[in-house]
Chain A
Amino acid sequence: MTDTLHTALDDRSVVVCLGPGGVGKTTTAAAIGVAAARRGRRAVVLTIDPARRLADALGLDGISDGVREIDLDATGSLHIAMLDPGATFDDVIAEHATSPAQTERILANRIYRNLTAGLSGVSEYMASERLRALHLDDRFDLVVIDTPPSRHAFDFLDGPGRLARFVDHPIYRSVLAPRRGVLRAVNATARLVVRTIARVVGADLVDDAVGFFAAFEGMDTGFRDRAAEVEALLADTTRTSFLLVGSARLDAARELRWIGDNLAGRDLAADLLVVNRVSPLAVGTGDMTAATDPSGDADGPLAPVVAELVRFAEAERHAIGVIAETTGVDVTRVVAEQATPVADLDGVVSVAEALLG
């Protein structure tokens, strides 16, 4: 029988890890990278999470937008990369601008400066550019992506088309139209909408926005083409796997179901499911009640502690069943909570070994 996780580790070009916060998603993404390297792949793990959790998990500080190799006993290799949206945006502009003057205009724009200062949703604009660059990089044959928690994961999945859709938008066209000298193309509704926006947010912000998008003139085809490329990559089930990561809780089950529904709405589907940080008693199918009180004293101080731990483990098993049922994805692995918190590479390696099975 083929193991779906082994297949993904061996054959895919991209593994996207999705899940709610606090379930060990970043650790899992890193462990997938380690496991793939152990099976001979040249993996790179990209985190676009603003909390820098991967750096924490791997005990690394100060990796910026660069890529760093992790020293690992493996036939393949492992690199990690952090998305620094500002630096990526700067690179994209420097690379694709039609002239140095255009680069300068964009970098000087007030909105651009604030965009790169870390407002919500900005990192996702650049995630697809980074994914594409890593995917095309000769050093790697597998990109593992650690997405932001649940809701914001879809900002990432929608990221590829975001700037592209923007430049196709009638409003964008209408605000740029005078500069392009095609006034006749301006549709009356769009003009009205722009006037309304100006009343809502203030005329100077609209001027800045117009300046910002005007500064991109000529670059829009590139944005569109690259976005289409990434969308095609993510939609190709022979190249991309979506891995759901959860914990054995009912709220995680609801989040994962929500994620599954949203993937389906984009004609995508998860094919892998890892339930993480499960108490060791609940892993497997052994009979827990037979264990009873280890001191053999039903009135002793251990009895209530044991009863609580067993009750918790039973509830966790139930939650795992609910997750599989509501997401419709078979449980690929149940990973026990590690004896010590995963705070370094050794911790990630032991999770990787649990995943390899």
Chain B
Amino acid sequence: MVTFDEFCEASRVVLVAGKGGVGKTTVGVALADAAARAGRNVLLVELEGHSDAGRSFGVDTLGYEPAALDLDAAGSLAARHLAPDDALLDYLGGHGLLATAGRLLTSGAVDVISTAAPGIRDLLGLGKIRSLATEGDHDLIVVDAPASGHARSFLTAPTYLAETASSGPIREQAVAAQAFLRDPAAIRVVLVTLAEETPVNETIETAFTLDDEVGVALGPVVVNAVRSAPDDVRAALDGADPDLAVHDAVARHLAVADRQRMQIRRLTDETGLAPLELPWRPMVELTPQRRTELADALVAAVEASS
């Protein structure tokens, strides 16, 4: 029995990652919403994408400065965007190089640096998250990570750069980032998936890669959009007119639910952990009402898990 409070306290940073289209941003937003309503001061950080994280709060564009999101909550919720160039500017400022930073950007030197060592932007992004975590202004930082292929390179960047740079500031950054990632009280990764074959395969593969190559702690896997298929619905469909278009639609809905069960079992068997399940909702975008429902469902799933 885990309480949601314990879930929120397990690490300062929760990085939410997953294949594109599985609802990674939605889960991150639901977690941030639930944690704020549970009394925590939460910061939601978006690393890339188009500011979808703020949209269900009526904020169309997230900027570098944290924006307070409107939420009837005991705690608070702010959200910000963290583009790679922002992290670089921050880093340069911290090294007394802010005056030259503008010139570096306009001269295209940033592109040159990142072409020579492509992981540098990722490394500095991680460094910024690390400093946000150590500043301690927030109880919980929820990071909406890049989609999974790129999340892997994002998290393995310190390993590669620690090998590439044998000394100097980048090596220091890389080594510090490696230590940060290996501290389970500092950061853990929550993988989000759909209960479909390809995303489940990728989730299993990513979980093993992160464990082996990065050594970062893994939180529970969240399975999004799980359909329910109660027995009474099945029985009622058997007696329904098969010529109606919706008959086929309901039959498919039930078939999807069955396949999802199978995939969730496979995920559980191969990772050895029971995932958290969020219910499917008929929606084409996250409305405030859906967000609240999903946040409540997430809390319920955490508290039901063993």
Contact with A along B227-243 (1 / 0, CB 8 A): 00010110111011110
Number of A-B contacts (CB under 8 A): 230
Tell me whether B104 is interfacial, beta carbon within 8 Å: yes
Tell me whether B1 is interfacial, beta carbon within 8 Å: no
Contact with B along A225-251 (1 / 0, CB 8 A): 000000000000000000000011111
Contact between chains at A120 and B103 (CB < 8 Å) = no
Contact between chains at A301 and B230 (CB < 8 Å) = yes
Contact between chains at B118 and A115 (CB < 8 Å) = yes
Contact between chains at B249 and A281 (CB < 8 Å) = yes
Write out the residue numbers on chain B whose beta carbons fall within 8 Å of the beta carbon of A341.
Answer: 196-198, 259
Tell me whether A310 is interfacial, beta carbon within 8 Å: yes
195-241 of chain B: CB within 8 A of chain A: 196-199, 201-202, 230, 232-233, 235-237, 239-241
In the complex, how many angstroms separate the beta carbon of A189 from the nearest chain B beta carbon?
Answer: 7
Contact between chains at B284 and A248 (CB < 8 Å) = yes
Contact between chains at B284 and A202 (CB < 8 Å) = no
Contact between chains at A294 and B237 (CB < 8 Å) = yes
Tell me whether B268 is interfacial, beta carbon within 8 Å: no
Q: Complex Cα distance A172/B282, Å? A: 53
Tell me whether B50 is interfacial, beta carbon within 8 Å: yes
Q: Complex Cα distance A199/B101, Å? A: 12
Tell me whether B49 is interfacial, beta carbon within 8 Å: yes
Tell me whether B289 is interfacial, beta carbon within 8 Å: no
Residue of A nearest to B116 (CB): A209
Contact with A along B26-57 (1 / 0, CB 8 A): 00000000000000000000001110100000
Write out the residue numbers on chain B whose beta carbons fall within 8 Å of the beta carbon of A115.
Answer: 118
- The B interface, classified by DSSP as helix, strand, loop or mixed, is helix
In the complex, how many angstroms separate the beta carbon of A119 from the nearest chain B beta carbon?
Answer: 4
Tell me whether A260 is interfacial, beta carbon within 8 Å: no
124-142 of chain B: CB within 8 A of chain A: none
Residue of A nearest to B246 (CB): A291
Q: Complex Cα distance A316/B233, Å? A: 24
Tell me whether B117 is interfacial, beta carbon within 8 Å: yes
Contact between chains at B282 and A309 (CB < 8 Å) = yes
- The one of B165, B199, B284 in contact with A319, judged by C-beta atoms closer than 8 angstroms, is B284
Tell me whether B160 is interfacial, beta carbon within 8 Å: yes
91-115 of chain A: CB within 8 A of chain B: 110-111, 114-115
In the complex, identify which listed stretch (B16-24, B67-75, B292-300) lies at the interface while the others stay far away.
B16-24
Tell me whether B167 is interfacial, beta carbon within 8 Å: yes
Tell me whether A144 is interfacial, beta carbon within 8 Å: no
- The one of A205, A288, A296 in contact with B165, judged by C-beta atoms closer than 8 angstroms, is A205
Tell me whether A178 is interfacial, beta carbon within 8 Å: no
Contact between chains at B97 and A312 (CB < 8 Å) = no
Known: A209-B117, A318-B284. A309 touches B246 (CB 8 A): yes
Known: A21-B19, A281-B249. A193 touches B107 (CB 8 A): yes
Q: Complex Cα distance A252/B233, Å? A: 32
Q: Complex Cα distance A22/B147, Å? A: 10
Known: A120-B118, A249-B285, A295-B236. A200 touches B92 (CB 8 A): yes
Tell me whether A279 is interfacial, beta carbon within 8 Å: yes
- The one of B107, B116, B252 in contact with A339, judged by C-beta atoms closer than 8 angstroms, is B252
- The one of B109, B116, B122 in contact with A212, judged by C-beta atoms closer than 8 angstroms, is B116
- The A interface, classified by DSSP as helix, strand, loop or mixed, is helix
Known: A199-B97, A294-B241, A294-B244. A343 touches B197 (CB 8 A): yes
Q: Complex Cα distance A111/B112, Å? A: 13
Tell me whether A196 is interfacial, beta carbon within 8 Å: yes
285-317 of chain A: CB within 8 A of chain B: 286, 288, 291-297, 300-302, 305-306, 308-313, 315-316
Residue of B nearest to A257 (CB): B50
Write out the residue numbers on chain B whose beta carbons fall within 8 Å of the beta carbon of A337.
Answer: 252
Contact between chains at B236 and A255 (CB < 8 Å) = no
Tell me whether B145 is interfacial, beta carbon within 8 Å: no
Write out the residue numbers on chain B whose beta carbons fall within 8 Å of the beta carbon of A297.
Answer: 236
In the complex, identify which listed stretch (A10-18, A36-44, A47-55) lies at the interface while the others stay far away.
A47-55
In the complex, how many angstroms separate the beta carbon of A4 from the nearest chain B beta carbon?
Answer: 26
Tell me whether A264 is interfacial, beta carbon within 8 Å: no
Q: Complex Cα distance A20/B207, Å? A: 23
Contact between chains at B157 and A119 (CB < 8 Å) = yes
- The one of B157, B247, B285 in contact with A251, judged by C-beta atoms closer than 8 angstroms, is B285
168-202 of chain A: CB within 8 A of chain B: 169-172, 189-190, 192-193, 196-197, 199-202
Tell me whether B171 is interfacial, beta carbon within 8 Å: yes
Tell me whether A203 is interfacial, beta carbon within 8 Å: yes
Write out the residue numbers on chain A whose beta carbons fall within 8 Å of the beta carbon of B95.
Answer: 199-200
Contact between chains at A294 and B247 (CB < 8 Å) = yes
In the complex, how many angstroms separate the beta carbon of B286 from the nearest chain A beta carbon?
Answer: 8
Tell me whether A56 is interfacial, beta carbon within 8 Å: yes
- The one of B120, B157, B160, B245 in contact with A201, judged by C-beta atoms closer than 8 angstroms, is B120
Contact between chains at B250 and A118 (CB < 8 Å) = no
Q: Complex Cα distance A174/B165, Å? A: 22
Write out the residue numbers on chain A whose beta carbons fall within 8 Å of the beta carbon of B255.
Answer: 339-340
Known: A20-B21, A201-B113, A251-B52. A310 touches B150 (CB 8 A): no
26 cross-chain CB contacts under 8 A: A20-B20, A57-B198, A119-B122, A119-B153, A120-B119, A172-B112, A193-B109, A200-B95, A202-B169, A202-B170, A204-B168, A209-B116, A292-B244, A294-B241, A295-B237, A301-B233, A305-B250, A306-B249, A310-B246, A313-B249, A315-B283, A315-B284, A316-B284, A339-B255, A340-B259, A343-B198
Closest 6 CB pairs of A and B: A22-B21, A21-B20, A202-B168, A312-B282, A294-B240, A209-B116
B-binding residues in A (CB < 8 A): 20-23, 49-51, 53, 56-57, 110-111, 114-115, 117-122, 148-152, 162, 166, 169-172, 189-190, 192-193, 196-197, 199-205, 208-209, 212-213, 247-251, 254-255, 258, 279-281, 286, 288, 291-297, 300-302, 305-306, 308-313, 315-316, 318-319, 337, 339-341, 343
**What 8 new A-B contacts, CB under 8 Å, besides A21-B20, A200-B113, A302-B237?**
A22-B199, A56-B197, A119-B160, A149-B147, A200-B104, A301-B235, A309-B246, A341-B196
